[in-house]
């Protein structure tokens, strides 16, 4: 009975795998959105509870009060944390030390989104230590990796096709951002704009479900309060628009500086991990002795800034120190993110601009107004994600009056970074520096959304290269479209059953003609060589049934074949379950 239940479950799962490989498999994708959204949200919540619980214990309830530490501890906290991380990571293979949003994007481009579990563990425990020890990083980047990673592992565990794993990763990332900021719409836009870099209706809906679940779980655990308290601010004078345009250009310069420092630091990634972490901990600690506001993500500083409790000189110092240190440590490989620090850097620079603006024109908008604009501009310009930045601040502020000035600032900043400085977002530049294409071509995006199971022809039968005439007739009776020939040396070829039918008809006609000419001719027909009788013989290679159409197209081009035998695991071996030809891919794509 147990065996029968397992077989039935496997059959249902196989049907699910086949159905979800289709481009329009919305019901199945909705199910994935629910499962991945809940899984990602729960993991991110556990991660946050772990970090905040440890900080609350260390600071007696003040979770981010690094400023209250004595100068000695301001140095020792990041130094000892970095030392512990360096020692822990030293025996771990370097490929498993890759973490964060960049890791997710790289695996999505090069490995069809199959994220390793070991990297996930490094991110979970390493990110915890890094955040507790006050490194100048954010927790949103680790959250995206954790959310996308657990979603990817679920897909791998159920052996889902690669096109479904792409959607799972987007769902996990959206749920993570939504749970981190309590901003469900921003989670959706971030997943589509930064992770997938595409917008599709079928992709949107499961990601929305996952993001809503992420926010729901976060609110159930932490309440509806946001990490950042954004006051009701607005634009006072239209005459401030030229000043805002100039401010947008300044943010473009700040974003460029951040990206350049980050990329320069990343060139030292091959330095032994312990040396890198000791360097990061020492520099961070040394600066924190005099400027403790750089420790941690800095949300407490940002809230004080919005409340107008930070001086101009301190703001300038925080901007410079936070920008350089965060860009450097994330470039060197610190297991943390940069989204939170970018909001702090942008907000502090906005505070500087607000003070200057109010000094020039008394009726100008409040410094808090420019703090909010700065958060949008810096985040959008560095990530090259203007929509994600806009929606994040809109949801955090719940203030529609901020939309118009925010759009102006972020557009100026993003356009200046790309057009004046010829620089893409930080993740795109990271990918480019590693020799990975930062953007997918439209054809690749389209083909990657479709599994080979949805296009392959499953009408096939297997045969040896040489068969008797009787065996050939048995093959025809099976009424399969394709005959797969598996050679003794392991090669594969494919012929059309129609060619065998024509050959047998020809043999029958020849036999009839001989019978008329020679009475009593009972000569036996020789063996039929399937590779010689076919009008067209396709050389074929195997392709895993989890592959998408882009992988199939790539395999056909690289292997120089015209057909692929789609296979899946069956016991200890593999079974051919479908045939995919070059023409079938072209016909599907419409070229």
Q: Is the pLDDT of residue 304 over 90?
A: no
pLDDT band at 75 (very low <50, low <70, confident <90, very high): very high
Q: Is the pLDDT of residue 518 over 60?
A: no
Report strand pairing: 460-463 vs 538-544.
Answer: unpaired
The CATH number of the domain covering residues in 450-589: 3.10.580
pLDDT band at 516 (very low <50, low <70, confident <90, very high): low
Q: Is the pLDDT of residue 365 over 80?
A: no
User: What is the pLDDT, as a whole number, of residue 525?
Assistant: 58
Which is more confidently placed, 307 or 464?
A: 464
The Cα–Cα gap between 187 and 178 comes to 5
Share of the chain above pLDDT 90, in %: 59
Which is more confidently placed, 381 or 467?
A: 381
pLDDT tens profile 521-566: 545 556 888 888 877 888 899 999 999 999 999 999 888 888 999 9
Q: Is the pLDDT of residue 219 over 60?
A: yes
- Range(s) of the chain covered by CATH 1.10.3080.10: 20-440
User: What is the pLDDT, as a whole number, of residue 517?
Assistant: 62
User: What is the pLDDT, as a whole number, of residue 76?
Assistant: 96
Decide: 388 and 402 in contact? Cβ < 8 Å. no
User: What is the pLDDT, as a whole number, of residue 267?
Assistant: 93
pLDDT tens profile 83-94: 999 999 999 999
Q: Looking at residues 102-110, what average pLDDT do you find?
A: 93
Could you tell me the CATH superfamily of domain 20-440?
Answer: Clc chloride channel (1.10.3080.10)
Which structure tokens are listed for 482? 């394709």
User: What is the pLDDT, as a whole number, of residue 281?
Assistant: 97
- Altogether, the residues listed in the chain come to a count of 591
Distance from CA of residue 59 to its chain's centroid? Answer: 35
Q: Is the pLDDT of residue 241 over 80?
A: yes
Q: Is the pLDDT of residue 1 over 60?
A: no
- Range(s) of the chain covered by CATH 3.10.580: 450-589
Burial class (CB in 10 A: 0-12, 13-18, 19+), 500: buried
Which structure tokens are listed for 280? 């990061």
The Cα–Cα gap between 110 and 114 comes to 9
Hunting for tokens 């023409």 — which residue is that? 583
pLDDT band at 43 (very low <50, low <70, confident <90, very high): very high
User: What is the pLDDT, as a whole number, of residue 62?
Assistant: 54
pLDDT tens profile 495-509: 999 988 888 888 777
Q: Looking at residues 363-391, what average pLDDT do you find?
A: 91
User: What is the pLDDT, as a whole number, of residue 588?
Assistant: 80
* DSSP output for 77-114: HHHHHHHHHHHHHTTS-GGGS--HHHHHHHHHHHSTT-
Nearest to 131 by CA among 197, 73, 49, 209: 49
Q: Looking at residues 426-452, what average pLDDT do you find?
A: 86
Decide: 563 and 580 in contact? Cβ < 8 Å. yes
pLDDT band at 238 (very low <50, low <70, confident <90, very high): confident
Q: In sequence order, what are the residues at sequence separation of 6 or more whose Cβ sits closer than 8 angstroms to the Cβ of residue 551?
A: 112, 162, 452, 543
Q: What value does the mean pLDDT of the chain take? A: 89
Q: Looking at residues 46-72, what average pLDDT do you find?
A: 82
Nearest to 348 by CA among 301, 398, 392, 307: 301
Share of the chain above pLDDT 70, in %: 96
Q: Looking at residues 130-138, what average pLDDT do you find?
A: 94
Report strand pairing: 528-529 vs 538-544.
Answer: unpaired
Label each residue of 274-325 as H, E or C.
HHHHHHHHHHHHHHHHHCHHHCCCCHHHHHHHHCCCCCHHHHHHHHHHHHHH
């Amino acid at each position: 009975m147990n065996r029968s239940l397992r077989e039935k479950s496997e059959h249902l799962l196989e049907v699910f795998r086949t159905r979800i490989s289709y481009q329009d498999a919305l019901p199945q994708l909705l199910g994935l959105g629910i499962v991945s959204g809940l899984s990602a949200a729960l993991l991110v919540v556990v991660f946050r509870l772990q970090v905040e619980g440890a900080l609350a214990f260390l600071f007696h309830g003040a979770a981010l009060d690094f400023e209250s530490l004595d100068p000695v501890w301001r140095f020792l906290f990041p130094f000892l944390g970095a030392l512990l991380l360096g020692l822990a990571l030293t025996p771990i293979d370097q490929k498993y030390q890759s973490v964060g949003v960049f890791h997710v994007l790289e695996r999505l481009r090069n490995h069809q989104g199959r994220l390793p579990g070991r990297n996930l563990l490094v991110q979970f425990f390493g990110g915890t230590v890094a955040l507790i020890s006050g490194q100048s990083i954010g927790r949103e980047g680790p959250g995206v990796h954790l959310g996308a990673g657990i979603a990817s592992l679920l897909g791998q565990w159920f052996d889902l096709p690669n096109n479904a794993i792409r959607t799972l990763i987007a769902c996990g990332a959206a749920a993570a951002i939504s749970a981190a900021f309590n901003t469900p719409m921003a989670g959706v836009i971030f997943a589509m704009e930064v992770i997938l870099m595409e917008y599709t209706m079928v992709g949107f809906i499961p990601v929305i479900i996952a993001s809503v679940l992420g926010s729901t779980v976060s609110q159930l655990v932490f309440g509806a309060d946001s990490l950042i308290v954004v006051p009701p601010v607005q634009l006072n004078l239209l005459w401030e628009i030229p000043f805002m345009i100039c401010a947008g250009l300044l943010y473009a310069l700040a974003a460029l500086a951040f990206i350049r420092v980050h990329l320069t630091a990343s060139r030292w990634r091959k330095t032994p991990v312990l040396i890198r972490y000791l360097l990061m901990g020492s520099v961070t600690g040394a600066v924190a002795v005099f400027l403790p506001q750089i420790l941690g993500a800095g949300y407490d500083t940002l809230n004080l800034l919005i409340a107008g409790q930070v001086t101009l000189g301190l703001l300038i110092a925080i901007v410079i120190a936070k920008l350089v240190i965060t860009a450097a440590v994330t470039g060197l490989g610190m297991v943390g993110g940069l989204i939170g620090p970018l909001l702090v850097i942008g907000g502090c620079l906005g505070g500087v601009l607000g003070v200057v603006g109010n000094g020039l024109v008394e009726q100008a908008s409040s410094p808090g107004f420019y703090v909010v604009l700065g958060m949008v501009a810096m985040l959008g310009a560095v990530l090259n994600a203007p929509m994600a930045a806009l929606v994040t601040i809109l949801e955090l502020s719940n203030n529609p009056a901020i939309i118009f000035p925010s759009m102006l600032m972020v557009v100026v900043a993003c356009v200046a970074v790309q057009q004046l400085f010829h620089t893409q977002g930080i993740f795109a530049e990271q990918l480019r520096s590693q020799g990975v294409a930062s953007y997918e071509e439209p054809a690749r995006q389209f083909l990657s959304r479709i599994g080979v199971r949805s296009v392959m022809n499953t009408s096939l039968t297997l045969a040896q290269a040489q068969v008797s005439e009787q065996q050939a007739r048995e093959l025809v009776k099976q009424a399969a479209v394709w005959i797969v020939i598996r050679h003794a040396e392991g090669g594969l070829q494919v012929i059309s059953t129609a060619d065998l039918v024509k050959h047998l008809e020809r043999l029958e006609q020849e036999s009839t003609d001989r019978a008329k000419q020679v009475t009593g001719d009972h000569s036996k027909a020789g063996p039929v060589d399937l590779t010689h009788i076919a009008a067209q013989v396709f050389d074929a290679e195997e392709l895993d049934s989890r592959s998408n159409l882009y992988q199939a197209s790539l395999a056909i081009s690289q292997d120089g074949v015209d057909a692929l035998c789609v296979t899946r695991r069956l016991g200890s071996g593999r079974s051919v379950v479908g045939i995919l030809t070059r023409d079938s891919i072209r016909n599907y794509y419409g070229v």
